[in-house]
């Protein structure tokens, strides 16, 4: 069996990108990344996650300020990325956190496969527990009990991807 294929190589070579160009990727690339998120496996196929795709600069900058405030910094937590794909998941599903995380993972790999950079940016939970986050959901007609899982910052990497760190030893236990 050939254990060196493109998919496995893609998984090994994806890195979190922390410096983005302001250029907007083509809509079809953004949609392909979103599509990969929608195809993620989910507990009992409940498809609990939803994705808010933010490309509007004013809204993107506003969310950046909310996130920075939660983190207690003045800088842009999205590192200049022009696209933010926010994953939230329906808390009514027992596997919603896992489902949302897998959606994030699929999107980051899809981005890499298309030559785009991505980075999981945290604090979506706090963002959508706050009044402004709830108001944003309401403005989109999103009702129900959704928890913020993560943001996928997306765009063209500005500069080389960081070097990969070796995998920590001793994380695999084998039986048989």
Ligand X SMILES: Cc1cc2nc3c(=O)[nH]c(=O)nc-3n(C[C@H](O)[C@H](O)[C@H](O)COP(=O)(O)O)c2cc1C
DSSP 176: -
Binding track over 86-115 against ligand X, x by CB under 6 A:
------------------------------
How do beta strands 83-90 and 146-155 pair?
antiparallel
Q: How far is the CB of 79 from ligand X (least distance, A)?
A: 7
The rounded distance, in Å, linking the Cα atoms of 162 and 15 is: 7
Task: Give 41's Cβ-side CA count (13 Å radius).
Answer: 3
Q: How far is the CB of 96 from ligand X (least distance, A)?
A: 15
140: tokens are 């989109």
Q: Is 16 helix (H, G, I), strand (E, B) or coil?
A: strand
Q: Are 100 and 149 in contact (CB under 8 A)?
A: yes
Name the segment binding ligand X (CB under 6 A); options: 5-13, 26-34, 38-46, 119-127: 119-127
Nearer to ligand X, 60 or 122 (CB): 122
- Using CB under 6 A as the binding rule, the residues of this chain from 13 to 52 that contact ligand X are 15-16, 18
Q: How many residues bind ligand X (CB under 6 A)?
A: 7
126: tokens are 């706090």
Q: Which of 120, 125, 134, 142 binds ligand X (CB under 6 A)?
A: 120
How do beta strands 49-54 and 146-155 pair?
unpaired
Name the segment binding ligand X (CB under 6 A); options: 42-50, 116-124, 130-138, 139-147: 116-124
**Which residues of this protein are in contact with ligand X, per CB under 6 A?**
15-16, 18, 119-122
């Amino acid at each position: 069996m050939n254990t060196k294929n493109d998919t496995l190589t893609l998984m090994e070579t994806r890195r979190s990108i922390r410096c983005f160009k302001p250029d907007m990727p083509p809509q079809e690339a953004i949609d392909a990344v979103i599509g990969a998120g929608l195809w993620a496996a989910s507990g009992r196929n409940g498809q609990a996650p939803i994705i808010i795709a933010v490309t509007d600069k004013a809204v993107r900058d506003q969310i950046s300020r909310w996130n920075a405030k939660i983190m207690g910094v003045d800088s842009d937590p999205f590192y200049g990325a022009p696209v933010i794909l926010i994953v939230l998941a329906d808390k009514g599903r027992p596997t919603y956190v896992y489902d949302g995380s897998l959606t994030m993972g699929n999107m980051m790999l899809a981005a890499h496969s298309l030559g785009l950079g991505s980075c999981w940016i945290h604090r979506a939970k706090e963002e959508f527990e706050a009044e402004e986050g709830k108001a944003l959901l309401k403005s989109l007609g999103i009702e129900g009990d959704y928890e913020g899982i993560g943001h996928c910052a997306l765009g063209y990497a500005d500069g080389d991807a960081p070097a990969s760190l070796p995998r920590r030893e001793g994380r695999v236990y084998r039986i048989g």
